[in-house]
Chains A and B, each alone.
Chain A
Amino acid sequence: QSALTQPASVSGSPGQSITISCTGTSSDVGSYNLVSWYQQHPGKAPKLMIYEGSKRPSGVSNRFSGSKSGNTASLTISGLQAEDEADYYCCSYAGSSTLGVFGTGTKVTVL
């Protein structure tokens, strides 16, 4: 099972919106509404930002939103802030044999 494909880097200015894509296949992203997104600051553990495609855990800013179309999921960060600068990973269920698969990761830079 290959990792889901994400752009290596995305950047934006404060206040702007950015979108990170996460491309899988019909065996993972395309088959289940079970994509999650994680934020990871350097030297820190990942933090759940979005689950089940578009749901936000309690305490996560509504500036973060998730969506899916076909085999591609997306994370949008609106009103970009300096604190959003981090690595972001998507993850999808890929069936009972493979279980979960993470994306390749995207470094978000706030200009």
Chain B
Amino acid sequence: EVQLVQSGAEVKKPGESLKISCKGSGYSFTSYWIGWVRQMPGKGLEWMGIIYPGDSDTRYSPSFQGQVTISADKSISTAYLQWSSLKASDTAMYYCARHIVVVTAIPADAFDIWGQGTMVTVSS
């Protein structure tokens, strides 16, 4: 079964760092882009960025450039989303998702497989 399994919920204080994970299984992890999507409480979906685990090519949406870091460890089929200094406004559900097209240079298409989401709460 093709699936993405994300790490568990996190509760952090402002200024702390955090790295959440997304482990792929059931397919060739290095052949598909993995994207990250934010959903703030009661709000819509936001496209954050995407990584190709095969060569770690990473692209960011302008709104998230410099705010987060996306990485991947292909040896353990896992992608990551990290913050160096969390803010209360980072409180949200974060989803990882697999790009639908295999081995493509341009991650322009849909996300066909989604993780279950990781809730991040930042509060003093």
Contacts and interface: CB of A to CB of B under 8 A. Distances in A.
A89 B44 contact: yes
Given A45-B95, A105-B44, 20 more contacts: A32-B108, A34-B110, A36-B109, A36-B111, A38-B111, A46-B97, A48-B100, A48-B111, A52-B110, A89-B44, A91-B110, A93-B108, A93-B109, A96-B106, A99-B49, A99-B50, A100-B61, A101-B47, A102-B44, A102-B45
A45 B110 contact: no
Interface residues of A, number: 27
Interface of B: 35, 37, 44-47, 49-50, 59-63, 95, 97, 100, 106-112, 114-117
Interface of A: 1, 3, 32, 34, 36, 38, 40, 45-48, 51-52, 57, 89, 91, 93, 96-105
A97 B115 CA distance: 25
Q: Could you say which of A3, A45, A52, A57 has the most chain B C-beta atoms within 10 Å of its C-beta?
A: A45
Contact of B45 (A38, A96, A99): A38
B61 to A, nearest CB: 6
Nearest to B111: A48
9 contacts: A1-B61, A1-B63, A45-B115, A46-B95, A46-B97, A52-B110, A97-B62, A99-B107, A99-B108
